[in-house]
């Protein structure tokens, strides 16, 4: 196991009815900006619950944060927060609202052009405090220090990390997820699954807790994911999916182990160019990525085949093929298509995708061995046609 320092300060309030806890979390005198997306939080009553808890407080609202949150939109919130002297942000929604709010939190006190936080990794010296009420289990944003923001004008989708943007707290009420449409149920399960894979399916480093924990999350997603379609109002199913998604990307799975993240890097370029949902891009890329890199991931692929898919006998190459095929079939069963053509993209512009990838990676190899060159990425894209 590699050395690591683990820190996760996010207080989690998990379970039905926990939205009331925000009353204790947000300081009484705070000037709060509630951020949200396209309106799902009004349709499912989550915003009404939040506002009832904060009745009598000094509260403003900023809506319209879109999926793959746009810098252009977020800057409007930054200006509003500066004008109004907002000193606390409460994000209510999915990963896009949470990520967008993290950017707002860092951008409000930032001196200079806030885009530099993303494009030039400008240091974040301070940030407004953030609370979150999560309505879509997927990204892990509610319990991590990452945010991904897109700039529509230039076709860039970039991330930044700062310990200052960890939420102060996260409310995870599984009942808020009953209203998710099937597409977002599938997206959430696939995203959480791939988060685990990026931190687990690399090469062995004798990290037994991390491995078993990763496998436990994958097995839970495989077991519970399809049930969310079949019995959408099953609390236990939603609770298990919600906790699985949070645990997938809050630090423990990835502590002290090699990490990949190349599937995400390629996926972000697909979203930036074609507008596909984040998880849709991962479902396109991951099976092809595993196939192309089967030699360097061989030992972990065999472990994954055995412990996650029960494939423990017969020819090793055939086992690896079967594990990759089962992964693909699971994504399809979660109603997330696994090829460009599945989304009507008959002739993907691989040259343009690779040019953007090169721009964003600075030409460095990706993956746990830094051996995912542009040529390897091209093979992955080709195989995912
Ligand atoms: O906008 P509203 O009306 O709220 O509707 C949303 C949106 O249309 C809807 N939705 C959310 N909760 C709902 C609901 N509809 C009904 N009932 C509910 N309870 O779902 C749609 C998608 O929401 P979005 O927030 O975009 O989805 P997700 O949570 O998958 O977030 C995706 C974003 O997170 C980034 C992705 O790149 C993408 O930009 N990621 C963030 C990460 C992080 N911070 O660590 C890691 C991830 O790998 C990922 O990159
Ligand atoms: Zn993801």
Average pLDDT over residues 352-356: 97
Give the span between the Cα atoms of 26 and 179, in whole angstroms: 26
Average pLDDT over residues 341-345: 98
**pLDDT above 90 coverage of the chain, percent:** 99
pLDDT grade, residue 267 (50/70/90)?
very high
From the CA of 190, the nearest ligand is 2
Please give the number of the atom of ligand 1 that sits closest to the Cα of 144. Answer: 45
Average pLDDT over residues 22-35: 98
Please give the number of the atom of ligand 1 that sits closest to the Cα of 268. Answer: 37
Q: Which residues have CB under 6 Å of ligand 1?
A: 37-41, 44, 67-68, 93-97, 99, 135-136, 138-141, 144, 146-148, 176-177, 179-180, 184, 187, 191, 249, 264, 278
Q: What is the pLDDT of residue 162?
A: 98
User: pTM for the full model?
Assistant: 0.98
Please give the number of the atom of ligand 1 that sits closest to the Cα of 136. Answer: 12
Q: What is the pLDDT of residue 377?
A: 98
Residue nearest to atom 48 of ligand 1 (CA): 139
pLDDT grade, residue 293 (50/70/90)?
very high
Q: How many other C-beta atoms are found inside a 10 Å radius of the C-beta of residue 242?
A: 25
Average pLDDT over residues 341-353: 98
Please give the number of the atom of ligand 1 that sits closest to the Cα of 99. Answer: 44
Return the DSSP state at 70. Answer: B
Q: State how far Cα 356 lies from the chain centre.
A: 21
Ligand 1 pocket check: which of 61, 64, 95 to mutate, most ligand atoms within 8 Å of Cβ?
95
Q: What is the pLDDT of residue 362?
A: 87
Q: What is the pLDDT of residue 334?
A: 98
pLDDT in tens, 215-250: 999 999 999 999 999 999 999 999 999 999 999 999
pLDDT in tens, 169-204: 999 999 999 999 999 999 999 999 999 999 999 999
Give the span between the Cα atoms of 134 and 214, in whole angstroms: 22
pLDDT at 64 > cutoff 90: yes
261 torsion bin: left (phi>0), alpha (psi -120 to 50), beta (else): left
Ligand 1 pocket check: which of 91, 92, 136, 171 to mutate, most ligand atoms within 8 Å of Cβ?
136
pLDDT in tens, 96-147: 999 999 999 999 999 999 999 999 999 999 999 999 999 999 999 999 999 9
For residue 312, report the distance from its CA to the centre of ligand 2, in Å: 29
Token digits for 359? 């721009």
pLDDT grade, residue 363 (50/70/90)?
confident
Residue nearest to atom 31 of ligand 1 (CA): 95
For residue 99, report the distance from its CA to the centre of ligand 2, in Å: 12
- pLDDT, mean over the chain: 97
DSSP characters over 260-282: --HHHHHHHHHHHHH---HHHHH
Q: Which pairs count as long-range contacts for 212-217, CB under 8 Å and 24+ apart, including other chains? A: 213/247, 213/252, 213/253, 214/253, 215/304, 215/307, 215/308, 217/192, 217/244, 217/247, 217/248, 217/253
From the list 12, 162, 170, the residue with the least C-alpha distance to 91 is 170
From the list 194, 157, 24, 35, the residue with the least C-alpha distance to 100 is 35
pLDDT grade, residue 153 (50/70/90)?
very high
Give the span between the Cα atoms of 345 and 270, in whole angstroms: 11
Residue nearest to atom 29 of ligand 1 (CA): 95
pLDDT in tens, 309-337: 999 999 999 999 999 999 999 999 999 99
Q: How many other C-beta atoms are found inside a 10 Å radius of the C-beta of residue 368?
A: 22
Give the span between the Cα atoms of 98 and 54, in whole angstroms: 19
The alpha carbon torsion through 102, 127, 132, 211 (nearest 10 deg) reads 70
For residue 189, report the distance from its CA to the centre of ligand 1, in Å: 12
**DSSP-derived pairing of the beta strands 156-161 and 146-151:** antiparallel
């Amino acid at each position: 196991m590699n050395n690591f320092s683990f820190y996760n300060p996010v207080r989690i309030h998990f379970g039905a009815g926990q939205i009331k806890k925000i009353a204790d979390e947000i300081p009484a005198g705070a000037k709060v900006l509630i951020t949200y997306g396209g309106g799902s939080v009004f349709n499912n009553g989550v915003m009404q619950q939040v506002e009832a808890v904060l009745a009598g407080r000094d509260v403003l609202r900023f809506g319209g944060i879109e999926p793959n949150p746009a810098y252009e939109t977020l800057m409007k919130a930054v200006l509003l927060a500066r004008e109004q002297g907002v000193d606390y942000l409460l994000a209510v929604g999915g990963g896009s609202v949470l990520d967008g709010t993290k950017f707002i939190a860092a951008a409000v006190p930032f001196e200079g052009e806030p885009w530099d936080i993303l494009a030039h990794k400008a240091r974040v010296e301070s940030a407004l405090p953030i609370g979150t009420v999560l309505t879509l289990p997927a990204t892990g944003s509610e319990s991590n220090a990452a945010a991904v923001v897109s700039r529509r004008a230039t076709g860039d989708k970039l991330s930044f990390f700062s310990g200052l943007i960890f939420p102060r707290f996260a409310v995870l009420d599984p009942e808020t997820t009953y209203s998710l449409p099937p597409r977002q149920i599938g997206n959430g399960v696939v995203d959480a699954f791939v988060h685990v894979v990026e931190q687990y399916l690399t090469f062995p480093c004798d990290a037994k807790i991390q491995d078993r924990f990763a496998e436990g999350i994958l097995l839970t997603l495989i077991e519970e994911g399809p049930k969310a379609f079949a019995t959408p109002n099953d609390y236990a199913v939603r609770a298990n999916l919600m906790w699985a998604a949070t645990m997938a990307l809050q630090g423990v799975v990835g502590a002290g182990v090699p990490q990949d993240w190349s599937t995400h890097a390629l996926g972000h370029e697909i979203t930036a160019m074609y507008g596909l949902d984040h998880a849709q891009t991962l479902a396109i890329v991951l099976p092809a990525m595993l196939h192309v890199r089967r030699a360097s991931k061989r030992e972990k692929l065999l472990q994954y085949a055995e412990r996650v898919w029960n494939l423990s006998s017969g020819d090793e190459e055939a086992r690896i093929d079967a594990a990759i095929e089962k992964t693909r079939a699971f994504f399809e069963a979660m109603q997330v298509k696994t090829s460009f053509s599945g989304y009507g993209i008959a002739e993907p512009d691989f040259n343009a995708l690779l040019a953007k990838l090169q721009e964003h990676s600075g030409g460095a190899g990706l993956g746990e061995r830094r051996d995912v060159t542009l040529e390897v990425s091209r093979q992955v894209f080709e195989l995912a046609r």
